[in-house]
Copies of this chain bind each other. A is one copy, B any other.
């Protein structure tokens, strides 16, 4: 069983079928095809408001291009110190943002708290053109520590942003897991709470490679598409991005996959706790951070379980990530199923 990340998973069958179905005919390039032209309407239905959809192939591209529309080259983006954009995306934000600066802040379990944000923004003293003033806040849902902002928490952040005339961006690489966990309407944690742009992840949750920038402020379209083009992210065979996304939405595949991943994480947490592990945070999405003894870690690894050390949480900390294809039965029956091979095992 492999829990090293959800990006080790293959394409799920429904999305592979959509790719195959697209492959028996020609179609117009650069988004002028029939599938691509359905995207705005499909996501507008999903979110219950008019949105623009700008698909790209990676989560990093979705984040850095999405953010580039929300901040000037002289401005700052407030984010959590542990935010993916701050830690794992090289200098991509400054690159696409023309120099825009990430301003890290703390908060429990990788969450920004609205009250802390209010303190941060109220305490910022501008020095005019000399200082980098915050222009945007970026949050990750679900977070880098597997926790999920509640609807109320995001609304509170949105209120602070509105008060301070800040833009609000959401890194939703695992947005589906958050919506599945909250069992809310996707609008509740996005535009209704003031989110201007969302990185809507599909790659980790069953797609080949597609994350969509969802623009709730549709005036951002031109700038975002220009950044996408010159960044090299405008696919000629754009229909393959569209086909993946449409299949991902159809019959709520995105939520079904996410629910499976989340339930697997809950089951895994239970099994590991039974074996003596202690969760670092209450698992809410599909990521699980635990503390355990060296002995237990060794037992799991000897049994073919793959997972990562997570030293930023301590020498005894580890991360397990479940996914749409996690073998929930085997997980529930741990430790009896240690050593069983499954489709998730890497040869």
A20 within 8 A of B: yes
A95 within 8 A of B: yes
Find out whether the CB atom of A64 lies under 8 angstroms from the CB atom of B343.
Answer: no
A229 within 8 A of B: yes
Residues of B within 8 A of A88 (CB): 127, 130-131
Find out whether the CB atom of B28 lies under 8 angstroms from the CB atom of A8.
Answer: yes
Known: A57-B57, A89-B130. A10 touches B34 (CB 8 A): no
Partner-binding segment picked from A155-163, A203-211, A246-254: A203-211
| Chain B min CB distance to A67 (Å) | 11
Size of chain A's interface in residues, with CB distance under 8 A? 81
Find out whether the CB atom of B99 lies under 8 angstroms from the CB atom of A203.
Answer: no
Find out whether the CB atom of B22 lies under 8 angstroms from the CB atom of A64.
Answer: no
| Chain B min CB distance to A25 (Å) | 6
Give the CA-CA distance A101 to B61 in the complex, in Å: 19
Find out whether the CB atom of A73 lies under 8 angstroms from the CB atom of B92.
Answer: no
Which of the listed residues A28, A91, A102 has the most CB atoms from chain B within 10 Å of its own CB?
A: A91
Chain B, residue nearest A29 (CB): B7
A344 within 8 A of B: yes
Chain B, residue nearest A346 (CB): B26
Chain B, residue nearest A323 (CB): B26
Residues of B within 8 A of A8 (CB): 26-29
List the number of copies, as a whole number.
Answer: 4
Find out whether the CB atom of A234 lies under 8 angstroms from the CB atom of B58.
Answer: yes
A226 within 8 A of B: yes
Q: Chain A, 162-174, contact with B by CB distance < 8 Å: what is the 0/1 string?
A: 0000000000000
Find out whether the CB atom of A16 lies under 8 angstroms from the CB atom of B20.
Answer: yes
Find out whether the CB atom of B26 lies under 8 angstroms from the CB atom of A345.
Answer: yes
A334 within 8 A of B: no
Q: Chain A, 55-66, contact with B by CB distance < 8 Å: what is the 0/1 string?
A: 011111111110
Q: Chain A, 82-94, contact with B by CB distance < 8 Å: what is the 0/1 string?
A: 0000011111101
> 25 A–B contact pairs at CB < 8 A?
A8-B26, A8-B29, A10-B24, A10-B27, A11-B23, A16-B20, A16-B23, A20-B20, A24-B343, A25-B347, A58-B235, A58-B236, A59-B236, A61-B233, A73-B98, A74-B91, A88-B127, A90-B230, A91-B99, A91-B132, A94-B101, A95-B231, A129-B234, A231-B232, A232-B233
Given A56-B232, A64-B232, A72-B226, 20 more pairs with CB closer than 8 A: A8-B27, A8-B28, A9-B26, A10-B25, A10-B27, A25-B343, A25-B345, A57-B233, A58-B236, A74-B226, A74-B230, A89-B229, A90-B130, A92-B231, A94-B99, A96-B232, A99-B230, A125-B311, A125-B312, A130-B229
